[in-house]
Amino acid sequence: FDAGTKRILETNPAFRRILGYTAEELERMTTVYDLVPDDPRSIDHNVERTLEQGHVLVGERQYRRKDGSSVELEVSGSVICYRGREVVCAVVRDITERKRAEEALRESEERFRTIFEQTAVGISIADPNRRLLETNPAYQEMVGYSEEELYGKPIAEFSHPDDVPVDTELNNELLADNLDRYQREKRYIRKDGESVWVRPTISVVRDAEDEPQFLIGVVENITERKRVENALKESEQRFRQLFEQSVEALIVHDEEGKIVDCNEETCRSLGYTREELLAMSVRDIATGLLSEEEKREREKRGGTLWQRIAAGEPDTPAVVHFGEHKCKDGTTFPIEVRVGGVDYSGKRMILASVRDITKRKTLEEQLAHRAFHDSLTDLPNRHLFMDRLRHALARADRRAGKVAVLFVDLDNFKLVNDSLGHEAGDRLLVAVAERLRGCLRPGDTAARLGGDEFTILLEGVDIRDATQVASRIAEALRAPFDLEERQIFTSASIGIVLNTTNQDEPGNLLRNADLALYQAKGSGKAGYAIFDPGMSTHALKHLELGNDLRQALERDEFKVYYQPKVLLDTGKIIGVEALVRWEHPERGLLLPSDFVPIAEETGLILHLGQRVLEKACRQARAWQEQCPGGPPRLMCVNLSARQFQHPDLARDIARVLRETGLDPCSLCLEITESAVMKDVQSTITTLQELKGLSVKFAIDDFGTGYSSLSYLKRFPVGFLKIDRSFIDGLEKDPEDTVLVSGIITLAHTLGMRVIAEGVETAEQLARLREMECDIAQGNYFSEPVSGRPATTFLVNDLRW
């Protein structure tokens, strides 16, 4: 352009491309000022300086493009002579890109600084010998040293000694260019001595000659993660250990039942390998756990088990059910399963603990058999007979015939027993039972009530059928019995009764058969008699006895006797059982079997029981006062079924406790197994109610009533008294020994203490000790005695 007028004279294509004008447009422009609208004067200034100094001047400047945008140009101008005049020749170069790059670099450096200063990740820059040159605040905080302290410090100096060798090795690899970078987990020792787990990522920066210049470390603090990891690992190990060592089969499965884990015991009990089980569902191995009805019932109550488990209720209550496990070989065994929720590998799962209850079931079956059968002849006992009679009466239908009860009694059994001994007597009874069975049709029942008393139940018969059976029996029993070398002849008398309606009381029917039997005996032995209502003196007798009892209560003829219970561990008396006696002015001392059944029938038992309870509690209180600071002893009092069912029971007991001042913890109520099992639900309610008074409970005569053992758990009962008949069998009957031992084990697993009743010999006691029975009671220690001698043995027990 012209140095004077600043008119553009000539441009090259590159110039025009940069600024977006055509040559004509540029030549038409008045001056170059139009190209630098922001700063036109500076052109004058530069032109002057160029003219003055005569050499090239370089500068950077903003130009305006034709489209209005600006562009950064580097300009070098020189003054030359062109066609006879002085012109300025400006050479321009587009430096927009360079400018932008410079700006970006500045920004990036700033950004890096910010990150460096503010990030929570530690950053270090070290020389190739791993001496620190620069560290950021996060790094300084992590190791507890200040920036100054760290400057020049070798990293190895505050690394855990165990980690240094590997550090050195990796570093050499890095410097030798065998590695781009490395990352590892290691420990720093902080200035305060604590160690921190870190994860540095180290890379190398090289110069133009490819020589290592710096080591850049990005260091993450992973102490917390490590701590959680370790805690998790430990808890997992613990879980694993418990899981594997459990004697129960433990199975973890998902909602669908797919097995995701199981322990060794599961494999062992089912005969599958772990791999096999992990490919199976619980449905493949368990059956009969929940009926559809139970499932619906449960869902109605609180949603499905799974819903509750999935909702993660903190401790989803363990739900128990019963069923069977199927083994690989096709066999099955009964199980008790407890299921609850568990977090497993981050998912909500079900943990099922499965207990093999074969033993319990077997015991239950044996006990059930025992409860319903006579152990000598294996015939049904009174219990089962009455049960069958009740059912027979309930379904008796006039058209289908009547129900008959035959009461059979051997005529000379006492003689055999007395002259030939018990054993011969027992063998005879077994043989009689055998013949009775032979006389009956399949649906009929022969039972042994006790001693030489047998009963027969016939259904769908008339009087002719019944008498025919009676003669057949009489005939069969007349044939001689071969007992060892001896032949024994016996005969039987038989009483027969038929029902009149299906409202007949089973007890009445049996009593009437008994009356008929006496009739038969009276009219010469070896015959039978049919009951007729004229024989019934029963009701009358009943009334008389009832009156007697009432009078006896008024005259206070009932006394309480006490029998000690001995703790086998220490030999000390831990309590006594109160047993009622009737000191009858004429008949002498009467035992409960002589009057308790009548008292129960007449309802007088409520009154009598109350009286016994009062006396016993008062006596217990008196003993406690006599030996202050003495050992706490239990006063055990029997409750009859009728008392137990009475709605006022809890109130009455509370009143007696209040009146006598006895601490409720010292009172233990004995309730027979059959009373307890009569109505399980109401038993639980009653026991809970009484539990509120803090009194204790024992299940009496255990083994004689039919218990579902699984129920026992649901009763808040502390003691289980094994019936005398089992203790009696300890030396004689191996089966009884097994049963007693089974009952003791079971009671212990249910958290109950076991009392053996009727211990008579040192041998029985020794066996019971071996079986870890807790407490024993029986004539071996002392017969039941009245209050005064009882005081003596209690005081002696203290001295000893």
| Least spacing, CB of residue 536 vs ligand C2E, in Å | 27
| Least spacing, CB of residue 514 vs ligand C2E, in Å | 22
The one of Mg ion, ligand C2E, none whose footprint includes residue 248, by CB under 5 to 8 A per kind, is none
The residue from 673, 701, 728, 736 that contacts Mg ion (CB under 5 A) is 701
The one of Mg ion, ligand C2E, none whose footprint includes residue 336, by CB under 5 to 8 A per kind, is none
Q: Where are the beta strands (DSSP E) in 391-507?
A: 402-410, 445-450, 453-461, 481-483, 486-488, 492-498
Site residues for Mg ion, 117-136, by CB under 5 A, read none
The three-state (H, E, C) secondary structure of 117-158, written as one string:
HHCCCEEEEECCCCEEEEECHHHHHHHCCCHHHHCCCEHHHH
Residue 187, CA distances (Å) to 29, 166, 204 in order: 74, 12, 21
The residue from 202, 778, 790, 794 that contacts ligand C2E (CB under 6 A) is 778
Residue 725's nearest CA partner among 219, 375, 472 is 375
Token duo for residue 758: 């009727």
The residue from 779, 792, 796, 798 that contacts ligand C2E (CB under 6 A) is 779
| Least spacing, CB of residue 780 vs ligand C2E, in Å | 6
- CA dist 705 and 462 (Å) reads 33
Q: Residues binding Mg ion: what is the number (CB under 5 A)?
A: 5
Which of 473, 580 has the CB closer to ligand C2E?
A: 580
Q: Find how far residue 231's CA is from the centre of its chain.
A: 25
Which of 425, 609 has the CB closer to ligand C2E?
A: 609
Residue 125's nearest CA partner among 206, 201, 214 is 214
Of 53-61, 114-122, 280-288, 694-702: span binding Mg ion (CB under 5 A):
694-702
Which of 610, 710 has the CB closer to ligand C2E?
A: 610
| Least spacing, CB of residue 670 vs ligand C2E, in Å | 6
The residue from 248, 754, 784, 794 that contacts ligand C2E (CB under 6 A) is 784
Site residues for Mg ion, 748-787, by CB under 5 A, read 757
- CA dist 232 and 200 (Å) reads 24
Site residues for ligand C2E, 537-576, by CB under 6 A, read 563
The residue from 248, 670, 774, 797 that contacts ligand C2E (CB under 6 A) is 670
| Least spacing, CB of residue 761 vs Mg ion, in Å | 18
Residue 771's nearest CA partner among 724, 749, 800, 738 is 738
Positive/negative CA dihedral, 132, 138, 143, 147: positive
The residue from 135, 640, 660, 741 that contacts ligand C2E (CB under 6 A) is 640
765 part of the interface to ligand C2E, by CB under 6 A: no
| Least spacing, CB of residue 793 vs ligand C2E, in Å | 14
Which of 150, 566 has the CB closer to ligand C2E?
A: 566
The one of Mg ion, ligand C2E, none whose footprint includes residue 241, by CB under 5 to 8 A per kind, is none
Residues whose CB falls within 8 Å of the CB of residue 217, separated by 6 or more in sequence, listed in order: 122, 123, 124, 125, 126, 155, 200, 201, 202
Which of 409, 757 has the CB closer to Mg ion?
A: 757
Contact 561, 786 (CB under 8 A): yes
- CA dist 124 and 121 (Å) reads 10
Which of 202, 636 has the CB closer to Mg ion?
A: 636
The residue from 427, 758, 764, 767 that contacts ligand C2E (CB under 6 A) is 758
Which of 506, 778 has the CB closer to Mg ion?
A: 778
591 part of the interface to ligand C2E, by CB under 6 A: yes
Residue 621, CA distances (Å) to 311, 633, 797 in order: 54, 10, 18
Which of 137, 592 has the CB closer to ligand C2E?
A: 592
What is the spatial order of strands in the sheet that 70-82 belongs to? 57-64, 70-82, 85-94
Site residues for Mg ion, 620-679, by CB under 5 A, read 638, 670
Q: What is the DSSP string of 489-548?
A: ---EEEEEEE-SSTT--HHHHHHHHHHHHHHHHHT-SS-EEE--GGG--HHHHHHHHHHH
Contact map string, positions 266 to 285, toward ligand C2E, x by CB under 6 A: --------------------
612 part of the interface to ligand C2E, by CB under 6 A: yes
The residue from 248, 459, 700, 736 that contacts Mg ion (CB under 5 A) is 700
Instruction: Return the DSSP state at 704.
Output: S
Which of 348, 646 has the CB closer to ligand C2E?
A: 646
797 part of the interface to Mg ion, by CB under 5 A: no
Of 4-12, 67-75, 406-414, 635-643: span binding ligand C2E (CB under 6 A):
635-643
Site residues for Mg ion, 468-527, by CB under 5 A, read none
Residue 129's nearest CA partner among 167, 178, 162 is 167
Contact 759, 778 (CB under 8 A): yes
CB-based closest residue to Mg ion:
670
The amino acid that residue 583 corresponds to is E
| Least spacing, CB of residue 623 vs ligand C2E, in Å | 18
Q: What is the DSSP string of 626-657?
A: HSTTPPP-EEEEEE-HHHHH-TTHHHHHHHHH
| Least spacing, CB of residue 620 vs ligand C2E, in Å | 14
| Least spacing, CB of residue 704 vs Mg ion, in Å | 8
The residue from 204, 259, 349, 579 that contacts ligand C2E (CB under 6 A) is 579
| Least spacing, CB of residue 582 vs Mg ion, in Å | 17
728 part of the interface to Mg ion, by CB under 5 A: no
Of 149-157, 288-296, 585-593, 653-661: span binding ligand C2E (CB under 6 A):
585-593
The amino acid that residue 784 corresponds to is P
- In 70-98, which positions are buried (b, 16+ CB within 10 angstroms) versus exposed (e)? ebbbebebebeeeeeeebbebebebbeee
The residue from 336, 701, 736, 774 that contacts ligand C2E (CB under 6 A) is 701
Q: At what angle do helices 734-749 and 762-770 cross, to 10 degrees?
A: 50
592 part of the interface to ligand C2E, by CB under 6 A: yes
Q: Residues binding ligand C2E: what is the number (CB under 6 A)?
A: 23
Instruction: Return the DSSP state at 786.
Output: -
Which of 580, 687 has the CB closer to ligand C2E?
A: 580
Which of 200, 784 has the CB closer to ligand C2E?
A: 784
Other beta carbons within 10 Å of 765: 21
The one of Mg ion, ligand C2E, none whose footprint includes residue 758, by CB under 5 to 8 A per kind, is ligand C2E
Q: Find how far residue 600's CA is from the centre of its chain.
A: 42
- CA dist 484 and 431 (Å) reads 12
Residue 677's nearest CA partner among 652, 696, 695, 703 is 703
| Least spacing, CB of residue 700 vs Mg ion, in Å | 4
Residue 732, CA distances (Å) to 484, 513, 742, 763 in order: 20, 34, 17, 11
The residue from 122, 460, 609, 729 that contacts ligand C2E (CB under 6 A) is 609
638 part of the interface to ligand C2E, by CB under 6 A: yes
Q: What are phi and psi of 460, to 5 degrees?
A: 65, 45
Which of 273, 779 has the CB closer to ligand C2E?
A: 779
- In 576-613, which positions are buried (b, 16+ CB within 10 angstroms) versus exposed (e)? bbbbbbbeeeeeeebeeeebbebbbebebbbebbbebb
The one of ligand C2E, Mg ion, none whose footprint includes residue 592, by CB under 5 to 8 A per kind, is ligand C2E
SS3 content of the chain, % helix, strand, coil (to 5): 45, 25, 25
| Least spacing, CB of residue 527 vs Mg ion, in Å | 39
Phi-psi label, residue 618: left if phi above 0, alpha if psi -120 to 50, beta otherwise: alpha
Which residue ranges make up the site for Mg ion (CB under 5 A)?
638, 670, 700-701, 757
Which residue ranges make up the site for ligand C2E (CB under 6 A)?
563, 579-580, 591-593, 596, 609, 612, 638-640, 670, 700-701, 724, 757-760, 778-779, 784
